[in-house]
Structure 1
Amino acid sequence: MTYHPKSEFLHVMQERGYFADCTDLQGLDETLAAGVVPAYIGYDATAQSLHVGHLLNIMMLRWLQKCGHRPITLMGGGTTKVGDPSFRADERPLLTPTQIDENIAAMGRVFDRYLDYGAGGAMMLNNAEWLDGLNYLDFLRDIGRHFSVNRMLSFESVKSRLDREQSLSFLEFNYMILQAYDFVELWRRHGCLLQMGGSDQWGNIVNGVDLARRVADVELFGLTSPLLTTSDGRKMGKSAGGAVWLSAEMLAPYEFWQFWRNTTDADVGRFLKLYTELPVDECERLGSLGGAEINEAKVRLANEVTALLHGGEAARAAEATAREVFEHGGAGDALPTLALSPDEVAGGISIVQLIVRSGLAKSGKEARRLIAENGARMDDAPLTDAGLMLDAAALASPVKLSAGRKRHALVTLAG
């Protein structure tokens, strides 16, 4: 981006690497410089937790608030009932209203870590408030008439699905209209002027800007961030164990810390700028380190990111556990722990079952393959027998299980 913004927020977006595209960069910059701008990002409640893939745009909202503007987290209580088809190969499974409400409540606890929802601060809204009560015929007449099917079919998120001859249901096709309508409603109700999201949302965001111009003759703005991949080409947020969840109930803080500690050398500086609040020059200095020093930069990255989400104490505990595990061969206090009742081990329990239940493998087949390929260890000794059974006596002291060199868990006997 060659444009030099006057507003602090766009300067941060540019300097730290959040910026991909904008519907009207100069117009948005002038609006941000003129006063407080309410801006939103939408989150459909498709799971019980957000994951690391959401963290970049959560940080954008955090920086927006730090720069004096008003972030809005829009929970998709209405749009989740439809499902965003963007760049998906198939239709999302439909959730019940109860599941959606439970997911929204769980996701809200994550946002509380990053945003201040106090008086005059961030707002958490739910689009079910206006979508659930829509009259379908009125909506088609007043809103649907502004959308060209030809243009909607040209959006890459839709076109790629159809080019692969994969089904796109009429239900999903409505999603982009509903998201555009969300933007207009947020402007009407809360003066929201800006929608942000990943670059895969560009078409949906542009629809909202265009709809506002057509129905209210108002100029709204869209800003997107790049879709991140790691330097080795992997989608950001994926690990060998699956999604990297932001909820401590779905992923232990230690495992979250380890994800960042295992960052590829080439990504350290970039991730420090995106996922921490360290000064840019410090991020670049740490990212330029080589040899053994880059490992300390990774520890700094892991500590900073974990402290923002789970608190400083959790970050310090994770680092202490990692040093105990990797430098001294111990177990550490912050390892993910599987606590078994005496009844569960009364007749013995298989090592394969323990590996699966402790989260080190997704299935018994994967656990047995891990053992066969010499990738599993128990108390740092190689596991070679997939038929091994453990009883209460064997679990009288905590047992440390390992998958490879970097993933560990404890198994304990409760009571």
Structure 2
Amino acid sequence: MNERTELMANQRIDDSFPTLWAELEWRGLIHVSTDADALSELLEGEPFAYYCGFDPTASSLHLGHLVQLLLMRRLQLKGHRPLGLVGGSTGLIGDPRPTSERTLNSRETVAQWVDSLGEQVSKYLSFEGDNAARLVNNLDWTAPLSAIDFLREIGKYFRVGTMIKKDIVAKRLDSDEGISYTEFSYQILQGLDYLELYRQYDCKLQSGGSDQWGNLTSGTELIRKAEGASVHAIGTPLITNADGTKFGKSEGNAIWLNPEMCSPYAFYQFWLNQADADVVDRLKVFTFLTRAEIEDYATQVAEEPFKRAAQKRLALEVTTLVHGAKATQGAIDASAALFGQGELSELDEASLAGAVSELPVAAGAAGASIAQLLVDAGLVKSLGEARRAIAQGGVYVNNAKVESEDAELAAADLLHGKFAVLRRGKKTLAAVRA
């Protein structure tokens, strides 16, 4: 059993809840939906197919997508059959943004991103057993359609008056930018996806972010009109921090699931730095910990917040889920070693590279002046200040105290031949990169 399979084997529905719907509500995963009672009954009944779509508008998924993937996994654990849709056609268009038109990417780029996202989606679902997941690409059914067929067979079911009332469309119509017919048509394409999956797999549920509600309901309405059938949609809340700011950003950048775009170290630190006011809600959404376990952490946050036990568990769980146990341990070791609580020389290159990528950097080679490197890295303002800091015993290279004001970087200081870590005092860090 490989690590990913073992991880999935330990994931469970929390049987302390009377229904899966009750658990989803407790975890804060339901912001809006079609008939809640009917959905609760559906989830407790015979296995059915459901889907969520992921558009390749970038080469990686991010934390917003992780919310959907974990919701899909919870439904799969209940016995239902997930369809992970990667939008080879909708990715060529892009869903409307609130303020401006998207830049259209080339077909070659979108095709590459489809493959990349498909691999990522596959990590979070099981492709074995009676309710094995299936990956689908909407380009398979949209590419063969002619424009005439699209308008005759699909477009006839949509009313322009209804389409322009969708929140995102209304906002764009009121803006100076307006909206192109291309992006205006996106909701029809997404509706077509649901109809096609209903016809092929008897798909009865679509999930997505609540900001996509207009697109989600375009599918339920299309199926009602074209097939005379009732199907469902769930809109998950857009997750925000307790202060109202948008969740999932760090220094203005998205937290990507691809380790090349957000290192396991940076990913781990993001979760470790969650505020006390937010951490319990994060445990509910992003982990498979039980209600009893999460309530215990809530008590610890209230009574002993300085221990940050909930943040440490959150960072451990989510980083392991996304990057695996080895990379997570590397991130933990790197975090400790940077601040003198472990041996930097024992870190593997990937963990060390991820850690120093988050630090100010100075270029240096063997023989470089430590004092000058302190200046170049921005840890001090002048050579005089650097020398005084060294003389006072407050400068370290790879956690070893620098004893001489004239000290130079040794070849052995360059870990893996590439990196050294400068520290001034207890917490001020920078990296040297050869």
Question: Could you say whether these structures have the same fold, taking a TM-score greater than 0.5 normalized by the shorter chain as the test?
Answer: yes
SS in structure 2 opposite 1:140? Answer: helix
Shift of 1:336: 2.8
User: Which residue of 282, 304, 307 maps to 2:317?
Assistant: 304
- Which structure would you say has the larger Rg? 2
- Pairing of 1:174-185 with structure 2 (within 5 A): 174-185=185-196
User: Which residue of 108, 131, 141 maps to 1:98?
Assistant: 108
User: Which residue of 107, 131, 152 maps to 1:141?
Assistant: 152
Contact preservation (8 Å) 1:261, 1:301: yes
SS in structure 2 opposite 1:201? Answer: helix
Residue in structure 2 matched with residue 123 of structure 1 by the alignment: 134
- Pairing of 1:256-275 with structure 2 (within 5 A): 256-275=267-286
| TM-score (norm. length: structure 2) | 0.78
> For the structure 1 residues 280 and 410, does the alpha-carbon distance in structure 2 shift closer, same or farther, using more than 3 Å as the test?
farther
Contact preservation (8 Å) 1:269, 1:288: no
Aligned residue identity for 2:109: Q
User: Which residue of 324, 349, 353 maps to 1:336?
Assistant: 353
> For the structure 1 residues 163 and 394, does the alpha-carbon distance in structure 2 shift closer, same or farther, using more than 3 Å as the test?
farther
- 2 CA distance for matches of 1:393 and 1:324? 20
Aligned residue identity for 1:88: P
- Pairing of 1:59-70 with structure 2 (within 5 A): 59-70=70-81
- 2 CA distance for matches of 1:407 and 1:239? 19
- 2 CA distance for matches of 1:241 and 1:329? 30
Deviations 1:109-128 (A, max 9, x none): 32232111235401110000
Residue in structure 1 matched with residue 183 of structure 2 by the alignment: 172
What number of residue pairs does the alignment pair up?
378
Residue in structure 1 matched with residue 61 of structure 2 by the alignment: 50
> For the structure 1 residues 148 and 408, does the alpha-carbon distance in structure 2 shift closer, same or farther, using more than 3 Å as the test?
farther
- 1 CA distance for matches of 2:63 and 2:379? 26
Residue in structure 2 matched with residue 88 of structure 1 by the alignment: 98
> For the structure 1 residues 237 and 106, does the alpha-carbon distance in structure 2 shift closer, same or farther, using more than 3 Å as the test?
same
SS in structure 2 opposite 1:336? Answer: helix
Q: Which runs of 5+ in 1 are unaligned?
A: 1-5, 355-366, 382-389
In the alignment, structure 1 residue 249 sits paired with structure 2 residue 260: yes
- 1 CA distance for matches of 2:252 and 2:58? 17
Deviations 1:29-49 (A, max 9, x none): 222222012111101001111
Aligned residue identity for 2:314: L
- 2 CA distance for matches of 1:407 and 1:40? 47
User: Which residue of 403, 420, 423 maps to 1:399?
Assistant: 420
- 1 CA distance for matches of 2:396 and 2:52? 45
Q: What is the identity percentage for the equivalent residue pairs of Structure 1 and Structure 2?
A: 37
SS in structure 1 opposite 2:203? Answer: coil
> For the structure 1 residues 369 and 130, does the alpha-carbon distance in structure 2 shift closer, same or farther, using more than 3 Å as the test?
farther
> For the structure 1 residues 255 and 371, does the alpha-carbon distance in structure 2 shift closer, same or farther, using more than 3 Å as the test?
farther
- 1 CA distance for matches of 2:311 and 2:342? 20
Residue in structure 1 matched with residue 392 of structure 2 by the alignment: none
SS in structure 2 opposite 1:218? Answer: coil
- 2 CA distance for matches of 1:189 and 1:172? 26
Shift of 1:400: 2.3
Contact preservation (8 Å) 1:37, 1:70: yes
- 1 CA distance for matches of 2:339 and 2:293? 27
> For the structure 1 residues 406 and 270, does the alpha-carbon distance in structure 2 shift closer, same or farther, using more than 3 Å as the test?
farther
- 1 CA distance for matches of 2:61 and 2:102? 16
- Pairing of 1:288-367 with structure 2 (within 5 A): 288-289=299-300, 290-326=303-339, 328=341, 331=344, 333=347, 334-337=351-354
Contact preservation (8 Å) 2:33, 2:234: yes
Contact preservation (8 Å) 1:75, 1:126: yes
Residue in structure 2 matched with residue 357 of structure 1 by the alignment: none
Residue in structure 2 matched with residue 359 of structure 1 by the alignment: none
Shift of 1:267: 0.7
| TM-score (norm. length: structure 1) | 0.81
- 1 CA distance for matches of 2:89 and 2:248? 26
In the alignment, structure 1 residue 285 sits paired with structure 2 residue 302: no
Residue in structure 2 matched with residue 363 of structure 1 by the alignment: none
- 2 CA distance for matches of 1:76 and 1:410? 40
Shift of 1:329: 7.9
Shift of 1:272: 0.5
Shift of 1:313: 2.1
> For the structure 1 residues 270 and 408, does the alpha-carbon distance in structure 2 shift closer, same or farther, using more than 3 Å as the test?
farther
> For the structure 1 residues 327 and 283, does the alpha-carbon distance in structure 2 shift closer, same or farther, using more than 3 Å as the test?
farther
SS in structure 2 opposite 1:88? Answer: coil
SS in structure 2 opposite 1:71? Answer: strand
Shift of 1:371: 8.1
Residue in structure 1 matched with residue 119 of structure 2 by the alignment: 109
- 2 CA distance for matches of 1:187 and 1:407? 57
Contact preservation (8 Å) 2:48, 2:81: yes
Shift of 1:149: 1.1
Shift of 1:411: 5.0
SS in structure 2 opposite 1:328? Answer: coil
